[in-house]
Every structure is written in C-alpha cells, then in structure tokens.
Structure 1
Amino acid sequence: MLSIIYPYRNRNLQGVKRSLDSLRSQTKPTFEVFFIDYGSSPETAFQVKELCAKYSFINYRYAFNQHQPWNKSRALNSVIKTLVSGYCFVADVDIIFHPEFIQKAIQLQDLNKSTYFQVGFLSEGDEVTQNHFTTGDYRKSTREATGLSMFPVRVLQDLRGFDEFYHFWGAEDTDMHVRIENAGYEVKFYDKEILLLHQWHPSYRREERKTLTRELQINGIVQLNHQHLQWAIQKNTTATNREEWGVVTSKEDFEFLDQLKTDQCIDNEKRKIDDLLYGQFPSFKNRAVKIEIKKSLYQRSLKYKLKRILRKKVPEYYTLKEVNDLVLLHLISFYRTRPYIYMVDDNLDSLTLSIKL
C-alpha cells in the first residue's frame, strides 16, 4: 500500500480534479490518499471537501491554520506521524499521474531507499491528457527538483519528519533528502521514464513585497530557508523538530482563539515591541493572550515631525512592516508548535496576534 499525501491551500480546483482523476485511472489501485487542507478559506475548503468526497480512496482533513503562514512541512508531518508503516509519496495538486505510476512506484520500494521522480512540465495552453506521456512534448525536471518523492515511512518517522522551521516557500524537500542521506540511507532520482506531468499554472509563489500586505510575508524568508538548508548540510543533521511535531491547529483551539478578548494594545515604538518579544513572551506560560499592535498616533503627529526636523529626542519606531516581520519570524522560530492566529488589518494599520502558550 502506498500512502499519497497532498498538501493544499486555496489552489485551483480544476487542476486538483484532473490530478485526482488520473489516480482513479491507475492500473494498480493499491494506494490511499490523504488530502490535507492546510487552512483554505471557508468557501474553498467547502468546495474542495465536496470534490474529495467523490473519490473513495481519499481521506480529507482540514487544519485550522488559515491565519498562519503556509507550512508544507507541518501539513505533511500531520499525516506522516500517524502512518503505521509502508511507504508514502509526497504529491502536488497540479500533478497528473501516469496510469502505471502506482505499479512502478511499488516496484521501486526499498526500506533503505527513497526515490524522487523526474517530471514533465506542460506548457501554457496545453490540453491536459494522458497522450503527453507518449508524445514527450514537454520540458523535463532536473535532479534539483526534489519535491515529488516516495519515502519509507519508518525513515521519516525516525527523523521526525520534514523540518517545520521552513515556512512559506523553499528547501524543505531538499532538506529532507539531505537528512535521509546523512542518516545513512539512499536517495535515488528516477529518470528512466516520465511518470508524472505538471500542469501549467501561473506561479503561486507571490513576489516578495517591501511593504505590508494582508497576505502574510517576511522579507528575505526564501534566503533564510536556503541558509537553514546549508546549515543542515554542513552539520550533517539527521533528526529535526522538537518532540511535538506534526501538530496542526484544532477546531477547538481556533474557535477559542478567535473569540479571545484583547489583553493589551501597544503601538509600534521600538522599545515596546522589543519588550513584547524578548521580555514578555517568555513569561506567557500556560495562558492565552491577544495582542493588538497599532501605528503610534504620536508618530503621525505634527509635533513629532517637527521634533525630528529639529533633531530633538523622540521615540524610535519600527514600521508596521518591520513589526510584522519581527513577530512572524519570532513565531516560526520559537512558537510554531503553539496554536495561534495572526492577522493584518484590512486597512493595514494594525496587527493582531492571539496565541495559546
């Protein structure tokens, strides 16, 4: 039995349907699918759950992480941690499976080996059909594309899954391969034939912006992720994560945090933000807090602007974008296993964090 894991959030449903239909056409149906919706909007979650219900081989799960940054590692780990044995394949919702993919994948299974597959990239405007597997009219992935991999479950569990430090985009798949090899196992690239096609779509990786947006972002996060990968390579890292890994936000915790009343409201003065992150947070134990951060009214005042022009002493302030990046980086570094809700106001003039510690 092969367990296929789809990590998902707010993606095009037509592409998802085509991917699932290609699994329905497998010549060897000895597989199961775990479809992990990592916090899609309520409307999209309803639609994708209805779609998944049409396939008898799918186990749909919803994680209430919609007001947290995307974390592919945790989405995958929430399934990996619960698997009893066997092998799992990390899928992508844009992938079309060759009818014999499951049969070939099972033939490649080895308890001491992980296998990742070469992919054919379809072009914009291509009609998605199984004929592409025979025509070969596509660009092929290289060894550097490590995302579509089959693993022995025991190996992943021994290494405590994918490293959950990686948020947003980048490097978690390669990191997993590196740590598997560091632990003494093999990782093989299967390029004898194309068994997977990638449907074309506009890039889902949002361009990094220097200003605050409602969509959660951290400046330089891709570079930070790749630096973390380099550290894993240099230090021969094997197991990662804390003991509490693969835990997603429950409905109960989400509803509790969503109804929490504000404990404190502070502005963006530097000393206040620094005290919040480095002074107060370590003392928030066994409790839930809700904090609102707004742009200082004094910072907007004529008096403040005049004092700055006259070079008189005035408080120092972070921009709200800087506060956003500091808070998010703090969360993913030290509190990523805790239930939390983090939101940027519609008007981009305040930030709200609710967290259960």
Structure 2
Amino acid sequence: MITIIYPFRNRDLIRVENSFLSLKEQTCNKFEVEFVDYGSNEKTAGKVRELCAKFSFVNYSYCYTQFQPWNKSRALNSVIKSLESEYCFVADVDIIFHPQFIEKAIQLQDGYRSTYFQVGFLSEGAKILPNHFSTGNYRKSTREATGLSMFPVKLLQELRGFDEFYHFWGAEDTDMHVRLENAGYEVHFYDKEILLLHQWHVSYRSAEEKVLTENLQIKGIVQLNHQYLQNTRVIKRIHANPKTWGEVMNATQLKSLMNQPFTFKLDNDKKKVDALIYGQLPQLLKGNFKVQIREQSISRSINFHLKRIAGKKAPEFYSLKEVNDLVLSHLISFYRDCPYIFKVNRKTGTIIFGIINS
C-alpha cells in the first residue's frame, strides 16, 4: 500500500480534479490519498472538501493555519508522523499520473531506498489528453527536481520528517534527500520513462512580491532556504526538528489567539519594534502574547522626510514591509513550534501577530 500525500492551500480545483481522475484510472488500486489542506480560506476549503468526498480513496483533513505562512514540510509531517503505510509518495496537485504509476512504483519499492521520478512539464494552455504520455510533447525535468518522491515511511520517521525550517517555497524536498544520503540510505532517480506530467502554472518564485502583501511573504526567503540547504550538506545534518515535528495548530488555539486582547500596541518606530523583537519576545512567559503594530503617519509625511534630509533629529521608522519581514522571519526561525498567527491589513496599515507560549 502506498499513501499519496497532497499538501494544498488555495489552489485551482480544476487541476486537483485532473490529478484525482488520473488516479481513478490506475491499473493497481493499492493506494490511498491523504489530502492536507494547510489553511485554505473558508470558501476554497469548502469546495475542495466537497471534491475530495467524490473520490472514495481520498481522505481530507484541514489545518487551522490560515494565518501562518505556507509550510509544506509541516503539512507533510502532520501525516507522516503517525502514518502506518509502509511507503508514501509526496504528490503535487498539479500532477497527472500515468495509468500504471502505482503498479510500477510498487515494483521499485525498497525499504532502504527512496525513489524520485522524472516529470514531463506541460506547456501553458495544454489540455489533458489520454495520449500525452506517449507524445513526448513536454519538457523533461532533470535530477535536480526532487519534489515527487516515494519514501519508505520508517526512514522519514527515523529522520524526524521534513525540516520545518523551510517556509514558503524551496529546498525542503532536496533537504530530505540530502539527509537520507547523509544517514547512509540510497536515493534513486527514475528516468527510464515519464510516469508523471505536471500541469503548467506560474513559477512561485517569479510571483514573489517586493511590497507588503496580505498574502504572506518575506523578501529573499528562497535564497535563505537554499543557503540553509547548503549548510545541511556542509555539516552533514541527518535529523531535523529537534523540538517537535508534525504538530499543527488546532481550532481551539486559533480561536484563543483571535480573541486574545493585545499585550502591546505600538507603531513602526524602529526603537519600539527592535525592543519588541530583541527584548520582549525572547522573554515570553507562558500563555498568550498578542501585538498590534500600526504604521505611524508621520513616517510617511513630507515634513518628516524634509527633516531627515536637512539632518535634523527625527525618529527612525521601519517601513511596514520591513516590519513584516523582520517579525515574520523571527516567528518562523525561533517560534515556529508554538501556535501563532500573523495578519497583515494594508487598508489600516497594521500588522497583528500572536503566540501561545507553552
């Protein structure tokens, strides 16, 4: 039995349905699907839950992480940590499976080896056709594309799952392969034939915003993730997540943080923000901690900037984008094992974040 794990948040449901339909056509039915909705908005979650219910082999679960950045590693770990299947396959909602994928994947199983598969990338606007696998009208991935892998579950559990440092996009799949090899296990690239096709979408990396957005982002996060990966190679790291892994915030914790009164309210004055980040946060007591940071209008005024140009003494302010990147970087680096929320409201010029420190 292979458990196919789909991590998901707010994606196009047509491509999800295409992927499920390709699984419905498998020549071997020795598989099940764990579909992890990592905090989609209420409307999308309702629709994808209904879609999953149409396929008997799909189990849908929802994570209350809609006010946290995307973390594919934690989404996967939430299933892997207690998974009883012998093997799992990390899927993507964009993937179309060859009818014989499960059958051939089973033939490749080895308890001490993980296998990742070459993929055919469909072009923009390409329709999903039955003969796509035989036409060869697609670009093929190289061995550097590591995201679609089959693992012996016991090996993932031994290494404490995917490294949950990785947020947003990039490198968590390769990191898993590197740590498996560091532990002495084999990682095999299967490129004898194309068994998976990838439906086209805009590159996530190219979609990164340089300005403040309510769709959580951090400037330069992809580069940070890849440097962290290089460090994993250098120090030959094997295990990840030394504190906890696969633990996801629940509905009760989310409600508690949403209803929590503010511990602090401050503006984007640099001294105040620095005191919060480097002073208050490292000394958190047990319980809930919630902060509102509002952009001070003076930091955007003409008089303020004229004083700065003239060399007169004036307060220093972070831009709200700088506050976003600074606070969110600290949360994912030092407090990611705590239940937390992070919300941006561009209309009111505010950032709200809260942590449950247990």
Alignment TM-score, normalising by the size of structure 2: 0.96
Q: Which moved more, 1:185-194 or 1:247-256?
A: 247-256
Q: Which moved more, 1:340-349 or 1:87-96?
A: 340-349
SS at match of 1:16: helix
Deviation at 1:302, TM superposition (A): 6.3
Judging changes above 3 Å, is the alpha-carbon distance between structure 1 residues 154 and 298 closer, same or farther for their aligned structure 2 residues? same
Q: Which moved more, 1:273-282 or 1:86-95?
A: 273-282
CA distance in 2, matches of 1:255, 1:175: 34
CA distance in 2, matches of 1:92, 1:270: 41
Equivalent runs, 1:185-204 vs 2, <5 Å: 185-204=185-204
SS at match of 2:232: helix
CA distance in 2, matches of 1:123, 1:84: 37
Q: One-letter code of the match for 1:341? A: I
CA distance in 1, matches of 2:322, 2:334: 18
Q: Which moved more, 1:292-301 or 1:194-203?
A: 292-301
Q: One-letter code of the match for 1:237? A: R
Judging changes above 3 Å, is the alpha-carbon distance between structure 1 residues 300 and 191 closer, same or farther for their aligned structure 2 residues? closer
Deviation at 1:298, TM superposition (A): 4.1
Please give the per-residue CA displacement for 1:301-336, whole angstroms capped at 9, x wherever unaligned.
566445424422222221111111000100000011
CA distance in 1, matches of 2:65, 2:167: 13
CA distance in 2, matches of 1:163, 1:52: 28
Match of residue 275 from structure 1: 275
Match of residue 10 from structure 1: 10
Contact 1:115 1:150 in 2 (8 A): yes
Please give the root-mean-square deviation of Cα atoms over the aligned residues, in Å. 1.4
Alignment TM-score, normalising by the size of structure 1: 0.96
CA distance in 2, matches of 1:218, 1:297: 23
Match of residue 27 from structure 1: 27
CA distance in 2, matches of 1:130, 1:119: 16
Equivalent runs, 1:141-152 vs 2, <5 Å: 141-152=141-152
Match of residue 118 from structure 1: 118
Gaps of 5+ in 1: none
Equivalent runs, 1:294-309 vs 2, <5 Å: 294-300=294-300, 304-309=304-309
CA distance in 1, matches of 2:349, 2:205: 25
Deviation at 1:104, TM superposition (A): 0.6
Match of residue 241 from structure 1: 241
Q: Which moved more, 1:92-101 or 1:127-136?
A: 127-136
CA distance in 2, matches of 1:163, 1:274: 28
1:78 has 2:78 as partner:
yes
Please give the per-residue CA displacement for 1:45-96, whole angstroms capped at 9, x wherever unaligned.
0000000001111110100111111111110010110112401000000111
CA distance in 2, matches of 1:237, 1:317: 39
CA distance in 1, matches of 2:306, 2:118: 62
Please give the per-residue CA displacement for 1:13-34, whole angstroms capped at 9, x wherever unaligned.
0110010011111111011100
Match of residue 338 from structure 1: 338
Contact 1:213 1:348 in 2 (8 A): no
Q: Which moved more, 1:132-141 or 1:25-34?
A: 132-141
Gaps of 5+ in 2: none
Contact 2:167 2:332 in 1 (8 A): yes
Match of residue 40 from structure 1: 40
After TM superposition, where is structure 1 displaced by more than 6 Å over at least 4 residues in a row? Answer: none
Q: Percent identity?
A: 62
Figure out how many residues of one structure are paired with residues of the other and give that number. 357
CA distance in 2, matches of 1:243, 1:319: 33
Contact 1:98 1:130 in 2 (8 A): no
Contact 1:37 1:60 in 2 (8 A): yes
Judging changes above 3 Å, is the alpha-carbon distance between structure 1 residues 301 and 146 closer, same or farther for their aligned structure 2 residues? closer
Match of residue 327 from structure 1: 327
Contact 2:243 2:337 in 1 (8 A): no
Q: Which moved more, 1:32-41 or 1:259-268?
A: 259-268
